[in-house]
Amino acid sequence: MKIYSTKENLQIVYEDNHIIVINKRVGDIVQGDQTGDQPLSEVVKEYIKEKYNKPGEVFLGVVHRLDRPTSGIVVFAKTSKALSRLAQAFKERQTEKTYWAIVKNLPEKPKDTLVHYLKRFPKKNISKAYDKEIPESKKASLSYEVKQSMERYHLLEVDLHTGRHHQIRVQLSAIGCPIKGDLKYGFDRSNPDGGIHLHARKLTLIHPVKKEKMTFVAPTPEDILWNLVNIK
């Protein structure tokens, strides 16, 4: 059963006067799109408005996004100053992002760095991976390590070096390791909640105002498979 985030059940990882860090649920959309579904950004605004009894419009800046079927860490800015500084930090790759992915098939190497050239096809909302650069492609790089193996599935920890469209999904699929539930990139069936087993586990950044290095960790969703592989 799908459970979307509301102002009552919001999973807050960290909050101060400048930023709020949320553990996004599977199915939450970070920012409004053509579906018309209420985005997580609006839910967080409702939460702030109610908690602090704020009159009028609440400011909340979207700094980065996660795919709708993905869960995990999302940072929002509560001031325009925090938004501009965080946006710059993400643009200049001054952040460290670690994901957990549960995949079918064990990679050939227990750890490796993958480099592909990804070309996006907007009409189908997919990206394709190529070994060599082709027109309109962008270089994509990530490192992975196998953290745990079960009978049918394997837990990979993934560190992103670039931020491309569907990057982890398409690069893992390209080495024959599609993410559980990811029909779009080669898994054979969908998950009951429509999500995929990809979780933005950890994010390290420099606080936009305090200038301190901070690391945020998001618990995995309550799910039989995540509970099996979870490394406490």
Integer Cα distance of 178 and 126 in angstroms? 14
- 67 catalytically annotated: yes
Domain extent listing, the chain: 12-229
Integer Cα distance of 192 and 147 in angstroms? 25
Average pLDDT, the chain: 94
pLDDT at 232: 47
What CATH number is given for 12-229 in this structure? 3.30.2350.10
State the pTM of this model.
Answer: 0.95
Active-site residue, from 67, 159, 193, 223: 67
Q: When comparing pLDDT for 145 and 35, which is higher?
A: 145
What's the rounded mean pLDDT across residues 155-163?
95
pLDDT at 32: 74
Beta strands 61-62 and 137-149: pairing type? unpaired
What's the rounded mean pLDDT across residues 224-230?
85
Query: pLDDT digits over 170-179, tens only?
Result: 999 999 999 9
Q: Is 127 exposed, middle or buried (0-12, 13-18, 19+ CB in 10 A)?
A: buried
pLDDT at 229: 82
pLDDT at 77: 98
173 closest CA partner among 137, 139, 141, 128 = 128
Query: pLDDT digits over 99-117, tens only?
Result: 999 999 999 999 999 999 9
